[in-house]
Amino acid sequence: MQVSAQTVVAKIGTSSITDDHGDIRPDAVDKFCTEVAALAAAGHRVVVVTSGAIAAGLPAVGLGGDRRPSDPQTLQAVSAIGQSRLMGVYDDCFARHGLVTGQVLLAPLDFGHRQQYLHARGTLERLLDLGVIPVVNENDAIADDEIRFGDNDRLSALVAHLVRADLLVLLTDAAGLLTADPRTNDDASLIEEIVEFDAEIEALAGGTGTARGSGGMASKLTAAKIASWSGVRAVIAAAARERVLADAVDGVAGVGTVVQPRAQRIGARKLWIAFALASVGRIEVDEGARRALSERGVSLLPAGVVAVHGAFAEGDAVEVCGPDAAVFAKGLVRVSSDQLEASLGRHTAELPDGTAHVVIHRDDLVIVP
């Protein structure tokens, strides 16, 4: 079947392109690049999102394997060392296919500020127009530890939204999401399609991945969920599988776990609020406020708030929960926790002069199923 030209974001993780010592495996990168080149030759536009800068930098300064440091400042310094080495491998591999690469380093704030967002989109789209393969990574060397993606799975999903991709492929060491851990259960089988997420599906994802990576299947599922909310089809598949990218584009059955896009999509800013920002507190609301926020899309006012958990400042991201303590929304607050404590349950007419009338504006609020 001939598939029309698509924009594809292909993400590959650290554990898929490095050995146990943390050295880059040129054969693994070459296999990946060969598949990307085949897509490009078929007329598809491909953006690569790659991890591996820290892992590539560690051996260069004698800190590979068991000597891997854990302090953030050293890891950020090491990422600066490894990023150029990582790009060198990609440059060489793609050059053998007659392709040019362009390095793009992104941070969460690039998705939260409209002008930065549009600038990043324009740069990536111009690179694609020029026939270049953009190679994207998080800007680890200068990322604020409090404001970062934490893993490139999430970054790749936001990039898929940024470039208005048709498909996000998340390559990993597993065949996709399985019904059980294959190391302990011989009956584990591949879940080939996810239409809607539920607690049972998310529970199957487990914890983090290898010591060399920061993701794991839970991170892949989160990324696939972001993509789904963006209207982008996502595939979680094994990096080692032959023709994995071509099969994902062609929709070959069994290529991995396919996550279908939702009919209802949300915009870039709300994706950023929901998935790129860490929550620093929680606001508990009454049942009436929960229904109004969920069903009518209104702003959260002090009258509906019954409790404040944690300390936060104006502009911070917080979770919103109902009387059952279940989180159903997330947003950017327009008041500090101290200010909100002083106005709990008060109607607008009862608020003192100078007090903010809105806790979270509807433009800054995301309902999360």
User: Domain-by-domain residue ranges, the chain?
Assistant: 7-270, 279-367
Token pair 């939702």: residue: 262
Q: Nearest Cα to 105, choosing from 92, 120, 93?
A: 120
Q: State residue 369's pLDDT score.
A: 65
Mean pLDDT taken over the chain: 89
Instruction: Give, in order, the Cα–Cα distances in Å from 284 to each of 47, 48, 293, 363.
Output: 41, 40, 13, 19
Q: State residue 1's pLDDT score.
A: 53
Indicate if the pLDDT at residue 88 is higher than 80: yes
Query: pTM for this structure?
Result: 0.84
Is CATH 3.40.50.1360 correct for 7-270? no
Q: Which CATH number does 279-367 carry?
A: 2.30.130.10
* Confidence band, pLDDT 50/70/90 cuts, at residue 73: confident
User: Reduced to 3 states, what is the DSSP secondary structure of residue 166?
Assistant: coil
Sign of the Cα torsion 53, 32, 227, 133 reads: positive
Q: State residue 213's pLDDT score.
A: 45
Instruction: Tell me the percentage of the chain whose pLDDT exceeds 70.
Output: 94
Element housing 117 (H / E): helix 114-129
Q: Residue 319 pairs with which residues in a beta bridge?
A: 282, 330
Q: What is the pLDDT of residues 2-34, one digit of tens each?
A: 578 899 999 998 889 988 777 888 999 999 999
Q: State residue 261's pLDDT score.
A: 93
Token pair recorded at residue 138:
């998080």
Sign of the Cα torsion 104, 131, 152, 7 reads: positive
Indicate if the pLDDT at residue 347 is higher than 80: yes
Same fold, 7-270 and 279-367: no
